[in-house]
Amino acid sequence: MSGGPRQPDIGARLTFDLGKPGRTACSLPAPDVPAAELPPSQFLRRELNLPELSQVDLVRYFLALSRLNYSVDSGFYPLGSCTMKYNPKVHERLACLPGFADLHPLQPPETVQGALALMYDLQRWLAEITGLDAVSLAPAAGAQGELTGILMVKAYLADRGEEGRRRVLVPDSAHGTNPATAAMGGFEVVTVASDNQGNTDMQALASALDDGVAALMLTLPNTLGLFDPNVGRIAEMLHRKGALLYGDGANLNALLGRARFGDMGFDIVHLNMHKTFSTPHGGGGPGSGPVAAKGHLATYLPTPVVDKEGDRFVLAAPERSIGRVGLFYGHFGVLLRAYAYLRALGVEGLRQVSENAVINANYVLARLRQAYHLPYDRHCMHEVVFSGSRQRAKGVRTWDIAKRLIDYGFHPPTVYFPLIVDEALMIEPTETESREALDAFCDALLAIAREAEEEPQVVKEAPHTAPIGRLDEATAARRPVLRWRREGTDAP
Amino acid sequence: MTLPYITNTAADRRAMLAAIGVASAEELFADIPPECRVADLGLPPALSEPDLVRELTALAERNRPVDTMPCFLGGGAYRHFIPSVVGEVIGRSEYATAYTPYQAEISQGTLQTTFEFQSMVCELTAMDVANAGMYDSASALAEACLMAAGVTGRRRIALLSTVHPHHQAVVRTYAFGRDLAVDALPPDGLALGEEHACLAVQQPNFFGYFLPEVEALQRAVHEAGALFIVSADPISLGLFRPPGEYGADVVVGEGQSLGSPLNFGGPYLGLFACRQQYLRQMPGRIVGRTSDAQGRSGYVLTIQTREQHIRRERATSNICTSQQLVALAATVYLAAMGRQGLRQVAELCYHKAHYAAQRIARLPGYSLAFDGLFFKEFVVRCPRPPAEVNRALLEQGIVGGLDVSPHVENGLLLCVTEMNTREDIERLVDTLAQIGGSG
């Protein structure tokens, strides 16, 4: 988002409106073979309503729109649980190498040994980082990684004749996808409360844990940004009851090179390459969500995994695999960026990442705690969750604070999540931000806290400087307009 | 070691730790029990940027990319021309390094281009509404089948046995989660029952051919009270009748062909469109148009009560992302191709594929495995096992087709697009002739 006056109503005109019959932005070859007979007209398309733009108009349109976006490269983006770290530019260059970008997934294996070697090594390294035994890179995103993990739990239990285990426990401090994922796995979801320290309530867990439980899905550190020190006991309790411990690894940034899920007793974990391993978020994908598992569960990993036979790399299907989760082998183009990131960092680099991520979050905590309510008063890990409850008492909602931050030049934090914190403000600075950037951000939030006291209207009407004002979301949902239509045909 | 991706200096860290009120960073990790800690990991040592480029380039050079050889491989991933404007737009970090547009006021670039994408998918498929994108065509098909089960309250999914085997496999994986049964039915003598939520077909099918009696099929599906799901090749829709015109309730497709490289299988893009009446059962992100207090048009994420972060375990799906950057590539691609260009691409594929098929069918020992209408892929019966044929082609520097001999005796699935020149095709034909003759 680079300032400048917004054009009068850029949102009112799409490529469909900008074109003119007879214009084109592409240049295609003339046919070099004799034309074949086309099938009868009932098989053919009558009309194709796509834009007709010149190339320069097309470029200007998409460039103008890009300037309305806030991004990591334009500024601080402390969106909690999203790990909006800087994305190294060398990765983009490497991903475009023809030896990676122009590989067909069904080429003979002997022509793609470099790509398979890359995947094989990445599998090994992710296993090493998580302390688990085997990895599949196939899941397309974190949510699909979760689904994969839960289906592995289901397949494992089915093999043991324990289909009676129909319940999955999900702490109230878990990621929002977890309950939806458990439901897609055919499980019933039981919420487990947190205690007043922000940890899993051990009594609540003990009373929910019986022979009908398949697994617990634990986000660690949790969405309060807190590491549950009872994790070892939790794993023990589950295993004693014949249930599995599933780990949501979305917050791994806090633990890189310091602590491993496998050593804590987790059985299956998914990771997010687009969070921890610095691949660009793309405005909402593509991500990548590899799954790691303990040895006895490796046989259930999705197809394919990369194996080594002698000095050849091959794609293989684990014996009791839950099957395919995607068309091919996962998001290779994303995975290779994660590979490059790991190669650039090494172990020492990973430890620096977690150290700086945790220092940055605690620094924000220390600077803001006087102005904003801190519901769990202890050191945090990679992110800190405040409550806007004090400001709400003055009639200013967290939503308003978020919008006001835009005026100060920052992307707002995650708001109203986790659900267990009233008026939540969830701030994840990441390791790539400087002390100066954090100071500027904290100064802005402190100024907004003062505004909430002294001139709340300024906050409630924010943003004042964004390309567009607050949008009418209620009407958008009630009378949905979800596509362009030619004027006069605004149905249904 | 100073990392270029970490900004704090040692002095910064000391000052910050003092402000936090701890003596060392270790104190901040105190909640992690000692038995869970590690001090070292078995990872290779860090590389500088030039060394990293050298290593990755060497790895890339161990592959033989298909831009250096004539390639006739399809089977779900396709080589199509990508105009330079596509890479230029999606390479802009304003698009690439943003996240899901939760804050609409500073995300209009992502939101408006998504609205464009939804509009273009609707136009292409002749459907009412489309979502912002899914992981790939296979998972989009699986989600469509789950949606049909939700809409009809039925517990069996039916699909034609001519649907891509990988798509079938993904449908089975998703169905396992929801405890749904999956029946792969032969296209002839279709036996759809009252327990079936849907019939899923692929147009053209895995072997490249269109269904001959699609109208009769859709009538049978609807008479059985099921949903008709069509997985379509979006490039084919530049020339062929869109599924919305022959009774589809849901249309899915693979968006990789629309401006994305092959990328060894991903990231790709699932297209998902359906009839208006199913809007609130649709999975995935949806963007809608609205306005601000001054009446200026703007775009927001909408109909979110279907989604995981609000509906939790009762959400239509757990999907969060929409393959946004890949969908943006598809949007720019379709805008660049436009009304004429997409038809031109589709016609080039059609004519070149038919030229190749006719030439190969005349070679001694070779024949076309199926009659009927095809687009850019077709199955050739070879005089020798297709694996041998492919090996011999590769020795001559040609990437052959997909060995489909498990489905069609000695069957080789070949794909010809606008990227194959006549010279490529002649070389393929000549080489196949030699291979056939020497067998």
Q: What is the CATH number of the domain that holds B209?
A: 3.40.640.10
- Nearest-angstrom CA–CA distance, B165 and B73: 16
The CA distance from B110 to the nearest CA of chain A, in Å, is: 6
The CA distance from A314 to the nearest CA of chain B, in Å, is: 14
The yes-or-no verdict on residue A410 having pLDDT over 70 is yes
Last residue of a domain, one of B286, B306, B332: B332
Q: Count of H helices and E strands in chain A?
A: 16, 12
**pLDDT at site B188:** 84
Residue B91 lies in a domain: yes
Helix, strand, coil content of chain B in percent (nearest 5): 45, 15, 40
| Binding-face residues of A in 338-367 toward B, CB within 8 A | 339-340, 342-350, 352-353, 355-356, 358-360, 362-363, 365-367
Residue B29 lies in a domain: no
**pLDDT at site B190:** 81
- Nearest-angstrom CA–CA distance, A448 and A402: 10
Structure tokens at B286: 């949806």
Residue B235 lies in a domain: yes
> Would you call A11 and B108 a contact, using CB atoms and an 8 Å cutoff?
yes
The yes-or-no verdict on residue A278 having pLDDT over 50 is yes
- Nearest-angstrom CA–CA distance, B116 and A14: 7
Is there a single domain that holds both residue B326 and residue B348?
no
> Would you call A344 and B139 a contact, using CB atoms and an 8 Å cutoff?
no
Encode burial over A272-287: b for 16+ CB neighbours within 10 A, e otherwise.
Answer: bbbbbbbbbbbbbbbb
Give the CATH architecture of domain A91-344.
Answer: 3-Layer(aba) Sandwich (3.40)
Where do we find the tokens 């939804």? Answer: B118
Residue B141 lies in a domain: yes
> Would you call B109 and A347 a contact, using CB atoms and an 8 Å cutoff?
no
> Would you call B41 and A43 a contact, using CB atoms and an 8 Å cutoff?
no
- Nearest-angstrom CA–CA distance, A351 and A357: 10
| Binding-face residues of A in 65-94 toward B, CB within 8 A | 65-74, 77, 79, 82, 84-88, 90, 92-94
Give me the interface pTM, i.e. the ipTM.
0.97
Q: pLDDT, tens digit, for every residue of B51-97?
A: 999 999 999 999 999 999 999 999 999 999 999 999 999 999 999 99
Q: Identity (one letter) of the amino acid at A75?
A: G
Number of domains, chain B = 2
A419: left (phi over 0), alpha (psi -120 to 50) or beta: alpha
Structure tokens at A262: 């496998």
> Would you call B321 and A285 a contact, using CB atoms and an 8 Å cutoff?
yes
Q: pLDDT, tens digit, for every residue of A220-230?
A: 999 999 999 99
Is there a single domain that holds both residue B145 and residue B181?
yes
Residue ranges of E strands in A43-158: 134-136
Distance (Å) of CA B7 to CA A293, A352, A430, A435: 34, 11, 11, 8
> Would you call A183 and B53 a contact, using CB atoms and an 8 Å cutoff?
no
- Nearest-angstrom CA–CA distance, B79 and B353: 13
Residue B367 lies in a domain: yes
> Would you call B43 and A51 a contact, using CB atoms and an 8 Å cutoff?
no
> Would you call A31 and B285 a contact, using CB atoms and an 8 Å cutoff?
no
Is there a single domain that holds both residue B244 and residue B376?
no
The tens-digit pLDDT sequence of chain B (439 residues) is 678 999 999 999 999 999 999 999 999 999 999 988 998 999 999 999 999 999 999 999 999 999 999 999 999 999 999 999 999 999 999 999 999 999 999 999 999 999 999 999 999 999 999 999 999 999 999 999 999 999 999 999 999 999 999 999 999 999 999 999 999 999 887 889 899 999 999 999 999 999 989 999 999 999 999 999 999 999 999 999 999 999 999 999 999 999 999 999 999 999 999 999 999 999 999 999 999 999 999 999 999 888 777 777 888 889 999 999 999 999 999 999 999 999 999 999 999 999 999 999 999 999 999 999 999 999 999 999 999 999 999 999 999 999 999 999 999 999 999 999 999 999 999 999 999 875 4
**pLDDT at site B307:** 78
CB contact A3 to B (< 8 Å): no
Distance (Å) of CA B272 to CA B120, B145, B198, B249, B307: 12, 12, 16, 11, 16
Q: Among all residues of chain B, which has the CA nearest to that of A83? A: B99
CA torsion sign for A294, A296, A297, A299 is positive
| Distance between start and end Cα atoms, chain A | 34
> Would you call B99 and A77 a contact, using CB atoms and an 8 Å cutoff?
yes
The CA distance from B375 to the nearest CA of chain A, in Å, is: 10
Which member of A49, A227, A467 has the closest CB to residue B108?
A467
Mean predicted lDDT score pLDDT of chain A = 95
Chain A residue numbers touching B289 (CB-CB < 8 A): 11, 476, 481-482
- Nearest-angstrom CA–CA distance, A256 and B198: 46
**pLDDT at site B189:** 76
Q: Identity (one letter) of the amino acid at B291?
A: S
Largest separation between any pair of C-alpha atoms in chain A: 78
Stretch A414-434: mean pLDDT: 97
The model's confidence at residue A6, banded by pLDDT at 50, 70 and 90, is low
Is there a single domain that holds both residue B159 and residue B306?
yes
Stretch A334-358: mean pLDDT: 97
- Higher-pLDDT residue of A350 and B316 is A350
- Nearest-angstrom CA–CA distance, B281 and B251: 14
Is there a single domain that holds both residue B155 and residue B194?
yes
Last residue of a domain, one of B299, B332, B365: B332
- Nearest-angstrom CA–CA distance, A403 and A376: 25
Size of interface A-B (CB pairs under 8 A): 682
Distance (Å) of CA B30 to CA A358, A423, B4, B34, B439: 12, 28, 28, 9, 71
Is there a single domain that holds both residue B431 and residue B294?
no
**pLDDT at site A174:** 86
CB contact B169 to A (< 8 Å): yes
Q: Where are the domains of chain A?
A: 91-344, 347-475
The CA distance from A135 to the nearest CA of chain B, in Å, is: 16
Q: pLDDT, tens digit, for every residue of A128-164?
A: 999 999 999 999 999 999 999 999 999 999 999 999 9
Cβ–Cβ < 8 Å for B152, B226: yes
The CA distance from A42 to the nearest CA of chain B, in Å, is: 8
The yes-or-no verdict on residue A3 having pLDDT over 50 is no
CB contact B384 to A (< 8 Å): no
Angle at B171 between CA B165 and CA B176, to 5 degrees: 125
Where do we find the tokens 């104190």? Answer: B27
Structure tokens at B124: 């292409």
Cβ–Cβ < 8 Å for B57, A98: no
The CA distance from B28 to the nearest CA of chain A, in Å, is: 6
Residue B34 lies in a domain: no
Mutate to test the interface with B, among A305, A468, A484 (most CBs of B within 10 A): A468
The model's confidence at residue A5, banded by pLDDT at 50, 70 and 90, is low
Is there a single domain that holds both residue B243 and residue B319?
yes
Q: Identity (one letter) of the amino acid at A15?
A: T
Q: pLDDT, tens digit, for every residue of A63-101?
A: 999 999 999 999 999 999 999 999 999 999 999 999 999
Residues forming a β-bridge with A2: none
Same fold: A91-344 with A347-475:
no
Sequence-separated (6 or more) residues with CB below 8 Å from residue B433: B363, B364
Specify the CATH number for the domain of residue B377.
3.90.1150.10
Q: Count of H helices and E strands in chain B?
A: 12, 13
Cβ–Cβ < 8 Å for B287, A463: no
Residue ranges of E strands in B186-269: 196-203, 227-232, 250-254
Sequence-separated (6 or more) residues with CB below 8 Å from residue B79: A104, B66, B71, B262, B417, B419
CB contact B79 to A (< 8 Å): yes
3-class DSSP state of A418? coil
**pLDDT at site B372:** 95
The CA distance from A390 to the nearest CA of chain B, in Å, is: 23
> Would you call B115 and A483 a contact, using CB atoms and an 8 Å cutoff?
yes
Is there a single domain that holds both residue B322 and residue B374?
no
- B378 is in which domain, residue-wise? 338-438
Task: State phi, psi for B386 to the nearest 5 degrees.
Answer: -55, -30
Is there a single domain that holds both residue B296 and residue B360?
no
User: For residue B55, with 0-12 CB atoms within 10 Å meaning exposed, 13-18 middle and 19 or more buried, which class applies?
Assistant: middle
Chain A residue numbers touching B137 (CB-CB < 8 A): 327
The yes-or-no verdict on residue A486 having pLDDT over 90 is no
Residue B119 lies in a domain: yes
| Binding-face residues of A in 195-214 toward B, CB within 8 A | none
DSSP string covering A251-263: GGGGTTTTB-HHH
3-class DSSP state of B63? strand
Residues forming a β-bridge with A15: none
Q: pLDDT, tens digit, for every residue of A175-217?
A: 889 999 999 999 999 999 999 999 999 999 999 999 999 999 9
**pLDDT at site A489:** 59
Last residue of a domain, one of B332, B357, B373: B332
Chain A residue numbers touching B38 (CB-CB < 8 A): 131, 257-260, 263
> Would you call B335 and A111 a contact, using CB atoms and an 8 Å cutoff?
no
User: For residue B93, with 0-12 CB atoms within 10 Å meaning exposed, 13-18 middle and 19 or more buried, which class applies?
Assistant: middle
DSSP string covering A161-209: T-TT--EEEEETTS-THHHHHHHHTTPEEEEE-B-TTSSB-HHHHHHH-
CB atoms within 10 A of CB A155: 18
> Would you call A68 and B169 a contact, using CB atoms and an 8 Å cutoff?
no
Which member of A186, A302, A480 has the closest CB to residue B288?
A480
Sequence-separated (6 or more) residues with CB below 8 Å from residue A124: A135
- Nearest-angstrom CA–CA distance, A156 and A282: 35
CATH 2.40.50.140 assigned to A347-475: no
Stretch A33-62: mean pLDDT: 96
H-helix or E-strand spanning residue B270: strand B270-274
Q: Among all residues of chain B, which has the CA nearest to that of A48? A: B339
Is there a single domain that holds both residue B213 and residue B359?
no
Is there a single domain that holds both residue B390 and residue B342?
yes
CB contact B382 to A (< 8 Å): no
CB half-sphere exposure, B372, CA atoms < 13 A: 16
The rounded percent of chain A whose pLDDT value lies above 90 is: 95
Angle at A486 between CA A484 and CA A489, to 5 degrees: 100
Is there a single domain that holds both residue B318 and residue B400?
no
CB contact B137 to A (< 8 Å): yes
3-class DSSP state of B19? helix
